[in-house]
Every structure is written in structure tokens, then in C-alpha cells.
Amino acid sequence: MTVRCPSCGTLNRVPDATAGRQVRCGKCKHPLDQAARGPVGVSDATFAADIEQSPLPVLLDLWAEWCGPCHMLAPTIGQLASELAGRVRVAKLNIDENPSTAARYGVQSIPTLLLLKNGREVDRLIGVQPKAEILRRVQRLLE
């Protein structure tokens, strides 16, 4: 069976009998289990390594625990993380716990979705957006 790494996009051959074993990407060592297909949690401390140095384009969800619209958007972000695995890295950053990154990007309203390529912002969506619109913007990023 072949599995695409959600972190770096490398195709990995994985034996069918992997129950109970931790399977990792041969290139970046990222876990390949089902739980790893969700959005990656990032912080101010890990932002450079996880986002700026990502070999894949990034869809970054800036959110807060108290934000109702952020919670409305969360299932869509989870679906996109699974659907775009290996092509786009989907990540979440809690702005209350990581104010430096939020300030750096001038985030004044949440939820805010940043689309980054090669560590640079190329597009921004503010507020709850339909999945189709987010995918349309991501597709432009992949062209």
C-alpha cells in the first residue's frame, strides 16, 4: 500500500499489516497514521520550522478557543487537512497562546486563513468561508 506523507508529500510504501505499529515517513519521519492527517498545531516557537521551512504550500488557520466562528470553521479545516494531505500542509495557530505570530501578520479578526508559499503570505481569507471558496483559493496557490 502507498501512503502520501501529509507533511512533506513523499510517497511511502507501507505494508498492509501495520496494526499497532507507529509508521513514519521515510524522508521526514512524520507519523503516517490516521491521526496525523488532521491539521498540524503550530506555535510561535515552532512556526519557522513547521511553516516557513515547509516544502509544501501552507493553509494556516489562526483561531482562538473563545471564538464561535472559529469553532464553526474547524470541521472544514479538518476535512481540508485530510483531502489536501501531501499537497498542502494545513496548520492551526491559537492566537491567544501565540501572540507574536498573530502580530507579525497583522491579524485583527478571526478566524483568519493565511495561504503561504515558500514562507511568504500569498493570500488571506477573513471570517467563516465556505469550503468551496477555500479550495478555490488553495487551487490558485497550487498553480
Buried b / exposed e along 75-84 (16+ C-beta atoms within 10 A) = ebbbebbeeb
Residues in the chain, how many? 143
**Which residues make beta-bridge pairs with 2?**
13
The closest alpha carbon to 25, from 41, 10, 47, belongs to 10
Q: Tell me, yes or no, if 25 is annotated catalytic.
A: no
> Is 5 one of the annotated active-site residues of the chain?
no
Closest CA to 91 of 114, 125, 110, 121: 114
Catalytic residue (one of 5, 8, 25, 67): 67
| Residue numbers annotated as active site | 67, 70
